[in-house]
Amino acid sequence: MKIIAYGIRDDERPYLEQWSQAQGIDVKAVGDLLDETTVDLAKGYDGAVVYQQKPYTAAVLDKLAANGITNLSLRNVGVDNVDADAVKRNGFKVTNVPAYSPAAIAEFTVTELMRLLRRTPTFDRKQAQGDLRWAPDIADELNSMTVGVVATGRIGRAALKIYQGFGAKVIAYDVFHNPELEKQGLYVDTLDELYAQADVISLHAPATKDNHNMLNDAAFAKMKDGVWILNPARGALVDTDALIRALDSGKVAGAALDVYENEVGIFNTDFGSFDAVPDERLKNLMRRDNVLISPHIAFYTKTAVKNMVQYALNNNKQLIETGQAENEVQF
């Protein structure tokens, strides 16, 4: 059995080598991402393990299949960038890692909220200028707020428990109700109800056609004045222009975004200076004390990286051996 793993970073390599040695399976680690220029490296292998934000296009998948590989294991959750028609046409088996560390993302989300509520970005800037005064930057307390959690999968539930630990009132919305949360009576029937009641909106939904830009002008208009927005999920959930307008008007008090609509090619890149960042809307947000931008790092812990690598390799091994895997994604 031979597996090729694309886009392997230095922080992933030790976990890949650990798994390869323990399993006695040859795994070729490639630093480059899977695309039309690297797909031929997969010739002679039985499966491919990948991680990237750029699309898995039909051209790439067709060529991968022509090279004899139809076992594809993603080291991440989202599959919205995989060409579904090409998957079906070529008979691909695709797996993901649905829960590499829900706690990592949940903890980061709440940490960013606390930074916003306690105005730490403002105090950091003031102190760098020698200003050690308190006023006028008085804080808010999470324990007195209502937090609306959108989507109650593993990550949403992990975040929800942390919010409850702070003493916040929590409400939730999901098309599919978790039985435990149902018993607690946490669900509201519609997003409009959640928007109307929540002081904080915490997004934990996957990106789908149905929820593209779900936080748009119409949605913001239904929210409380001074609402806080948290998005560690997918950039496509938030209409960036609408968010900027809501921040400008004061409808939104602040936001923490670990993802961004146009993050591909921008996040995880060193541009050398702030001015060189090639996205004016992103720079608009980054200039604000009441907006926290992080480059898709909520997942980025040692535990999560190990799980992403080794769970994906386990999935690929299962596909090669049996044609099935527990984390197989249906298209």
Active-site residues: which are they? Answer: 234, 263, 296
Residues 240 and 62: their CA atoms lie apart, in Å, by: 34
Residues 58 and 129: their CA atoms lie apart, in Å, by: 52
Q: Which of 144, 301, 148 is nearest to 215 (CA)?
A: 148
Residues 163 and 143: their CA atoms lie apart, in Å, by: 8
DSSP assignment string, 4-44: EE-S--TTTHHHHHHHHHHHT-EEEE-SSPSSTTTGGGGTT
Sole residue written with tokens 């596909």:
319
Residues 109 and 98: their CA atoms lie apart, in Å, by: 18
Residues 201 and 184: their CA atoms lie apart, in Å, by: 19
Degrees (nearest 5) of the Cα angle 104, 107, 109? 105
- List C-alpha distances in Å: 255 to 45, 67, 197, 243, 310: 45, 45, 17, 9, 33
Other Cβ atoms closer than 10 A to 137 = 14
* Residues in a beta bridge with 251: none
DSSP assignment string, 230-250: EE-S-GGGB-HHHHHHHHHHT
Say which amino acid occupies 105: I
Other Cβ atoms closer than 10 A to 272 = 8
